[in-house]
Amino acid sequence: MSESRHRKKRQQKFLEMNPICCFCGGINSANTIDHVPPQACFPEGYVPENFESPACKACNEETTKEDQIFGLYSLLLNFDESQMGRQEDIEKILKLKQGIINNYPDALPDDTKAHPIHRVGSIIAPAPVAISVPTTQSAKKALRVTCRKLTHALYFRETGKIMTSTHQFLSSSYQPQLDGTQNLTSLFASLLPNQIVGKRSNIRPRHNTMGSRLWPWRREAKQRPPQSCTLVKWSMWSWCKRKFNRLAQ
């Protein structure tokens, strides 16, 4: 069986087993499969398995803009040079950037409002160590939308139930590079599960890449705290998983 036919058959089976959209309160039938976090967060061809959610067409397609914007920022905010020097990551960033320039230019940072950062903790460097720019409204919205979809997808995955309008949840974010966030970063790192290696054939093998991107830094947390907003996504997933498991009991 060809890869495309195998994928189509697997998707049909998934929708037969999960016929209701998990994002709109169980109102509509699911006729598509949505990837949460979005595929834009990963280089081409490296899509994690078991992060697929049943979705109606409206819930899936109406967040295309936010998916692309969140994907770009999640890659740009990865300060791990050992990862971001890879050609596939660079190509994905350039592709996302060009698409956003063409379609959503207001989502990109305003260079005219940038200012240099000279301080790292208690050390003041003579030359700038980073550049700070205000977060755009489009980027803030993309973060809110992604957190909402991530929460719905996680709740459905871990409990088998669908969040409705009566449910309430709180989501937030932070940047690990900011002063005073070390304890929070250590807490999130402690919640991350061990590395899981996917088995699905359409995931290309990548040495020390797929695991570090999906379930990062578990064994390295004590030596080198992770420096990526990816940590927030997967830490939130792990922490909420434990909460939802307790609620489902």
pLDDT tens string 133-185: 888 999 999 999 999 999 999 999 889 999 988 888 888 877 776 777 888 88
∠ CA 212-218-222 to the nearest 5 degrees? 120
As a whole number, mean pLDDT of residues 120-126 equals: 76
* Mean per-residue pLDDT over the chain, rounded: 76
> So what's the pLDDT on residue 195?
58
As a whole number, mean pLDDT of residues 55-67 equals: 94
pLDDT higher than threshold 50 for residue 208: no
pLDDT higher than threshold 50 for residue 76: yes
> So what's the pLDDT on residue 29?
94
pLDDT higher than threshold 60 for residue 31: yes
d(CA 121, CA 130): 13
> So what's the pLDDT on residue 181?
82
> So what's the pLDDT on residue 210?
33
By percentage, how much of the chain surpasses pLDDT 70?
A: 71
> So what's the pLDDT on residue 152?
94
Neighbouring residues of 27: CB distance < 8 A, sequence distance ≥ 6: 21
pTM: 0.70
> So what's the pLDDT on residue 84?
62
pLDDT in tens, 177-206: 677 788 888 888 787 766 555 555 444 444
